[in-house]
Structure 1
Amino acid sequence: MEKVPYRSIPDMLRHSAAQYQTLNAVEFRKNGQWVTLSYAQFYNRALMVSRGLRKLRMKPGDRIAILSENRAGWIIADMGILCGGGVTVPVYATGTPDQIAYALSSCEARIVFVSGKVQYRKLLQVRDALPHLEHVISFERFLGEAALPVTTFYQLSEVDDPILDTERAEIDSVIDSLTPEMPATIIYTSGTTGTPKGAVLTHGNLVFDVWATLDKVGGVGQEDLFLSFLPLSHVFERSVGYYLPLSCGAAIAFADSMEKISENMMELHPTIMVCVPRFFEKIYSRIYEAVHQLSLFKRKMFRRALAVGRSYVYARYIDKYVPFWLSFQHAIADRLVFSKLRSRFGDRLKFCASGGAPLDREINEFFWIIGVPVFEGYGLTETSPVLCSNSYNGLRFGSVGTPLAFTEIAIAGDGEVLARGPQVMAGYYNDEAATKEALVDGWFRTGDIGRLEEGFLYITDRKKDLIVTAGGKNIAPQPIENLLKRDKYISQAYVYGDRKPYLTALLVPTLERLLEFAQERRIAYHDLEDLVVHQPVIELYKSRVEAVNNELAPFQTIKKFALLPRDFTMDSGELTPTLKVKRQVISERYRDQIDHLYNGSES
């Protein structure tokens, strides 16, 4: 791997703007039409934001927050902040007013970018808790209130006034002064295990992680289009889905919404996507539902194609040798089956990156088999985020790959994964005690449990999520939950059993399948709360859980379960923005149901 050529994120963008001037950098929907910004235009817009912030007395090191859903304005604002030497503090748009106030107060943000009136009203609710807040800048136009005046993004940028040579020179001097050790962002952890902490990532952390990830994965360049839909507030999308493509001349297109990803894939024909496991779980389930509707002959053909595809993938990417006969069989399977499945992704998808939570091994294999490679990786907010990744040249299903260059992974005596490398954070903002607890002798304590085999890292669970039963068994809940979610009747699952004699589960039915079952059995019901307690439905799920139990050791099996009438959601606070389960929230919210599973009659 060559030496990282950039000192900071703005330095990287400045190089890209000069090298890829006329190439598309950003694509987004505006007034029903797709609009593009070239690299030169994008950089110029960032400079305009930086100029506007300087007029608001932003100084290098000032913390500037962005409270917005994904949009082009988000990344223009971010680059404008960084070009002026500021520190970007992303805040999840799904956050409650109190959560937002905590982050803004902690970092003492003077200036906040908001997407529009919805986020602005959250600030109004907690105005008294934000004594440092001086300016609100909105991407959308609306009238603010006297207690909290609003400036529009357009007004701040003064888009109609070209950047003067003197202004460009002033900003260039700031960019030149940025060093790898300087903070670029403070990202507050999602708080799945406690109070959020602000991870301070430096320019050097982020630039290295982008450069090393690009070197690891390979094959990304000017012809590529990234479809962006994960929250930019999360470091995974920010680093791999935003900074990385802008480092190598690729383009970023912002999806209209999570609900329209399938439609956007067909419109835009992306080549690369950054995803979380839930995305693949849903597509996998839909494909198998469609297969279930096929004739017996076509179902047999599908299963045969999968068997050939699995052999081909292992031969090509793991054994590194494909016999001619297997290559021939695969070509037929690809033409008859796999190519039709790939067309759902827009025909050009080269690969996806998966992170944020464990991806079920069988689902991962399936996507490789149909010709949509999924590079499962591993990292945390505190590590910018990528520590390890699978790739074409190094692939082991079930693992999260091998470490990036100059990155060390070790396993502590209790099984905890330790990491050391240039991407590890400087520390937690204004929290020396938490920093000392996380960073010990140069090693970052990840809080995850794992093992190393032939250089590949396998994550088994979160250290704090391990269930210790009354019988003393240590059980990782996530693999069991993944098995349950693979069932077509189960959308989401939560396994419980800490200090209890056996495991129980809360199951969220797949609504379409459950309603279909109710119609077939002619079950009369008033609403979903009524439907999930009907005896035929309970018996159905008993059989589905029993099928999963047959794949588990006796001490891992689910003895009792409860069906919930609604999904876990971000809005309800039960999921993080990357769709990971907040175990503490769910265990508290459904305490009565869980207690009943241990005190009441068996399901």
Structure 2
Amino acid sequence: MDQIPYQSLPDVLRRHAAELGTRPAIKFRKQGSFVVLNYAQYYDRALMVTRGLRKLGIEPGDRVAILSENRAGWIIADMGILSAGAVTVPIYPTNTPEQVTYALTHSEARIVFVSNRSQYRKLLKYHDALPQLKLVVSFERFLGEPGLPVTTFYQLSEIDDPILDDERREIEGVIDGINPDKLATIIYTSGTTGIPKGAMLSHGNLLFDAWYTIKKAGVLGDREVLLSFLPLSHVLERTVGYYLPVLKGGLIAFAESFEKIAENMVEVKPSLIVSVPRLFEKIYSRIFESVHQLSLFKRTMFRRALSIGRRYIYARYIEHRVGLLLQAQYLLADRIIFTKLRQRFGGNLKLCCCGGAPLDKEINEFFWIIGIPIIEGYGLTETSPVICINTFQQLRFGSVGTALEQTEIGIALDGEVLVRGPQVMQEYYKDPEASREAFEDGWFKTGDIGYLENGFLFITDRKKELIITAGGKNIAPQPIENLLKRDKYISQAIVFGDRKPYLTALLVPTLERLIEFALENKINYNDVADLVVHEPVRKLYEQRVAAANESLAHYETIKKFQLLPRDFSVEAGELTPTLKLKRKVIAEAYHDKIEEMYAEH
């Protein structure tokens, strides 16, 4: 068993600054062109932040928050906080003022980094409830309000004053004192239900998880280019999209926005991206919509190529035995069709990491077929997050892979997945009762239902989200929702039926496809709310749902549905920042529509 050669996260950056020096570390767009910082510059910028924090009285163990979208300043601030021996408290930039206030007060953060005035205004709303907050540091320049002072990131860092030798020695003395057991971060769970809990993760938790994920993946080199767009406040992006490439001496390039990901992929040519299933679902839909526009001959060629590709990936990655004829057929399909699809991703993508929610098996297979392997794994905020992953050597579609080294997975009598290993959190911050409830005989209780098969873990659903019908059937809603979302006319779906006689669903149409359908069928309408109640639209969706029902057991079929005129959103509180459905919120918001589907029973 190999030993992790680092004591802390800042220790990694310090060593890389000395050993790699001029190797590119961070890439971001500023005023229209890309700026690149190498490892030595990244480290110096982080030490400047540390210097500024220490002048403000930040001591080891103090909490400092970051409330910002992804940007270079985020990871520079984080390393600066950690190098001071302090604790980073990341807050989702999509959080409401109430949620922001809760995280800041509960963690007792003394300083908060914000991206802009919009985030600052969230602090102003409940300023009186934040007496411990002494200063706001902004990545962008704006004037603060009386009583809540603002300084800029550059002013805090004193960017024009290089780190002096004695300052460097003093800070590095602090870094030397950070051992793997020291607390690195408190991450508040985004929470599909209940009050957020602060998971306490140590330097050792995060280092272990990144180090052994790299080792298990087995294909990551020391010059990977990662395109960062998933929120850094999410533990998956934090560990796999930030600490992991820093551990490998790779380059982290920041996407300008979620809307510009496709454009940035072509510019940056990443070899690695980290995402949640929603991105892959959308790309899959768009590709198949493009195929739908092709001639019959080209559509037939595409389907033939996919059929060859599916046989090839199973032969190569599952059976580990590929015949010469199949190899030749796949190479031809790849040259004619799949290579062109990969160019949309920059042409250099080695693999994608996917977590946060289950990825539909058919979508996963499709990306492997076209030569963009998605390494699906599983974990939680409380486990830093990776517990297990699929790899090129150990792959089962539909599973979330096999465990990392030194990590044990168990299944409780009720089917709940249990885990223990060096990546599991210390406890929940200031919540001994929740901490006690989270563990049983040394095992962390994940709250997910699953099973093990030949070492591979299969997750079937969240323990609290299982639907138990009036007839006593236990049904996992997510696989049904994923099946519905594969339809080109359905953007989002949520299934109901707990203690009810049958399943129902709320469906959000794919707006572009629905508008095309309305034009083709000459439907007159005022707005989307008007369009979704038109009889031809209703009949269309009845057909689409009936087609999905054909592959389901009778008790799993959707008997009734309602069409909604808008997407579920983070802003409306219906999705978590990682785009998971908040079932309770949606059920309350659409209570009347749901009950209407059961009214005639």
Interval containing the TM-score (normalised by the shorter chain): over 0.9
After TM superposition, give the deviation of residue 12 of structure 1 in Å. 1.3
The separation in 2 between residues aligned to 1:452 and 1:159, in whole angstroms, is 53
The equivalences for 1:186-265 within 5 A come to 186-265=186-265
Counterpart residue identity of residue 299, structure 1: R
The separation in 1 between residues aligned to 2:413 and 2:16, in whole angstroms, is 45
The separation in 1 between residues aligned to 2:84 and 2:390, in whole angstroms, is 36
The equivalences for 1:449-528 within 5 A come to 449-528=449-528
2:571 alignment partner in structure 1: 571
CA deviation map 1:290-321 (0-9, x unaligned): 11111111111111111111111111111111
The equivalences for 1:315-326 within 5 A come to 315-326=315-326
CA deviation map 1:20-77 (0-9, x unaligned): 1111100001001110000000000000000000000000000000001111001000
The separation in 1 between residues aligned to 2:223 and 2:16, in whole angstroms, is 14
The equivalences for 1:77-96 within 5 A come to 77-96=77-96
Kindly indicate whether residue 419 of structure 2 is the aligned counterpart of residue 425 of structure 1: no
Indicate if the aligned counterparts of 1:416 and 1:446 stay in contact, CA closer than 8 A: yes
Counterpart residue identity of residue 358, structure 2: P
Counterpart residue identity of residue 327, structure 2: S
Indicate if the aligned counterparts of 1:112 and 1:137 stay in contact, CA closer than 8 A: yes
1:138 alignment partner in structure 2: 138
What secondary structure, in the 3-state scheme, does the structure 2 residue paired with 1:428 have?
A: coil
Indicate if the aligned counterparts of 1:46 and 1:79 stay in contact, CA closer than 8 A: yes
Counterpart residue identity of residue 544, structure 1: R
Stretches of structure 2 lacking an aligned partner (at least 5 in a row): none
2:533 alignment partner in structure 1: 533
Indicate if the aligned counterparts of 1:222 and 1:251 stay in contact, CA closer than 8 A: no
Counterpart residue identity of residue 344, structure 2: R
Kindly indicate whether residue 553 of structure 2 is the aligned counterpart of residue 553 of structure 1: yes
The equivalences for 1:306-321 within 5 A come to 306-321=306-321
The separation in 2 between residues aligned to 1:182 and 1:34, in whole angstroms, is 36
The separation in 1 between residues aligned to 2:371 and 2:68, in whole angstroms, is 35
What secondary structure, in the 3-state scheme, does the structure 2 residue paired with 1:103 have?
A: helix
1:582 alignment partner in structure 2: 582
After TM superposition, give the deviation of residue 221 of structure 1 in Å. 2.5
The equivalences for 1:43-192 within 5 A come to 43-192=43-192
The equivalences for 1:428-447 within 5 A come to 428-447=428-447
Counterpart residue identity of residue 536, structure 2: P
Indicate if the aligned counterparts of 1:494 and 1:507 stay in contact, CA closer than 8 A: yes
After TM superposition, give the deviation of residue 193 of structure 1 in Å. 1.9
The separation in 2 between residues aligned to 1:440 and 1:103, in whole angstroms, is 27
Give the alignment's Cα RMSD to 1 decimal: 0.8
1:395 alignment partner in structure 2: 395
The separation in 2 between residues aligned to 1:20 and 1:503, in whole angstroms, is 57
Counterpart residue identity of residue 70, structure 2: N
Please give the TM-score of this superposition, normalised by the length of structure 1.
0.99
Indicate if the aligned counterparts of 1:16 and 1:248 stay in contact, CA closer than 8 A: no
1:280 alignment partner in structure 2: 280
Counterpart residue identity of residue 233, structure 2: S
CA deviation map 1:163-182 (0-9, x unaligned): 01111111111111011111
What secondary structure, in the 3-state scheme, does the structure 2 residue paired with 1:345 have?
A: coil
Counterpart residue identity of residue 307, structure 2: A
Indicate if the aligned counterparts of 1:25 and 1:37 stay in contact, CA closer than 8 A: yes
What secondary structure, in the 3-state scheme, does the structure 2 residue paired with 1:200 have?
A: strand
Counterpart residue identity of residue 211, structure 1: W
What secondary structure, in the 3-state scheme, does the structure 2 residue paired with 1:405 have?
A: coil
2:380 alignment partner in structure 1: 380
1:413 alignment partner in structure 2: 413
After TM superposition, give the deviation of residue 458 of structure 1 in Å. 0.2
Counterpart residue identity of residue 173, structure 1: G
Indicate if the aligned counterparts of 1:388 and 1:404 stay in contact, CA closer than 8 A: yes
After TM superposition, give the deviation of residue 600 of structure 1 in Å. 4.9
The separation in 2 between residues aligned to 1:335 and 1:378, in whole angstroms, is 33
What secondary structure, in the 3-state scheme, does the structure 1 residue paired with 2:397 have?
A: coil
The separation in 1 between residues aligned to 2:221 and 2:152, in whole angstroms, is 35
CA deviation map 1:247-270 (0-9, x unaligned): 111100000100010000111111
Kindly indicate whether residue 345 of structure 2 is the aligned counterpart of residue 351 of structure 1: no
The separation in 2 between residues aligned to 1:193 and 1:120, in whole angstroms, is 26
* Identical aligned residues as a percent: 68
The separation in 1 between residues aligned to 2:101 and 2:577, in whole angstroms, is 18
The equivalences for 1:288-307 within 5 A come to 288-307=288-307
CA deviation map 1:526-570 (0-9, x unaligned): 101000000100000000000011110011000100000000111
After TM superposition, give the deviation of residue 522 of structure 1 in Å. 0.5
Counterpart residue identity of residue 357, structure 1: A
After TM superposition, give the deviation of residue 191 of structure 1 in Å. 1.5
Indicate if the aligned counterparts of 1:342 and 1:370 stay in contact, CA closer than 8 A: yes
Q: Which range moves more in the overlay, 302-311 or 507-516?
A: 302-311
What secondary structure, in the 3-state scheme, does the structure 2 residue paired with 1:459 have?
A: strand
After TM superposition, give the deviation of residue 223 of structure 1 in Å. 2.5
Indicate if the aligned counterparts of 1:239 and 1:385 stay in contact, CA closer than 8 A: yes
Counterpart residue identity of residue 90, structure 1: P
Counterpart residue identity of residue 514, structure 1: L
Indicate if the aligned counterparts of 2:223 and 2:248 stay in contact, CA closer than 8 A: no
Counterpart residue identity of residue 186, structure 2: I
The separation in 1 between residues aligned to 2:14 and 2:561, in whole angstroms, is 56
The separation in 1 between residues aligned to 2:248 and 2:361, in whole angstroms, is 31
Indicate if the aligned counterparts of 1:220 and 1:250 stay in contact, CA closer than 8 A: no
What secondary structure, in the 3-state scheme, does the structure 2 residue paired with 1:11 have?
A: helix
What secondary structure, in the 3-state scheme, does the structure 1 residue paired with 2:524 have?
A: coil
Indicate if the aligned counterparts of 1:199 and 1:382 stay in contact, CA closer than 8 A: yes
What secondary structure, in the 3-state scheme, does the structure 1 residue paired with 2:410 have?
A: strand
What secondary structure, in the 3-state scheme, does the structure 2 residue paired with 1:457 have?
A: strand
CA deviation map 1:71-102 (0-9, x unaligned): 10010000000000000000011010000001
CA deviation map 1:344-403 (0-9, x unaligned): 111100100000000000000000000000000000000000000001111000000000
The separation in 1 between residues aligned to 2:75 and 2:221, in whole angstroms, is 20
2:599 alignment partner in structure 1: 599
Stretches of structure 1 lacking an aligned partner (at least 5 in a row): none
CA deviation map 1:318-359 (0-9, x unaligned): 111111111111110101111111111111001000000000
After TM superposition, give the deviation of residue 222 of structure 1 in Å. 2.9
What secondary structure, in the 3-state scheme, does the structure 2 residue paired with 1:444 have?
A: strand
What secondary structure, in the 3-state scheme, does the structure 1 residue paired with 2:176 have?
A: helix
The separation in 2 between residues aligned to 1:19 and 1:274, in whole angstroms, is 27
The separation in 1 between residues aligned to 2:17 and 2:485, in whole angstroms, is 44
What secondary structure, in the 3-state scheme, does the structure 2 residue paired with 1:387 have?
A: strand
The separation in 2 between residues aligned to 1:17 and 1:532, in whole angstroms, is 57
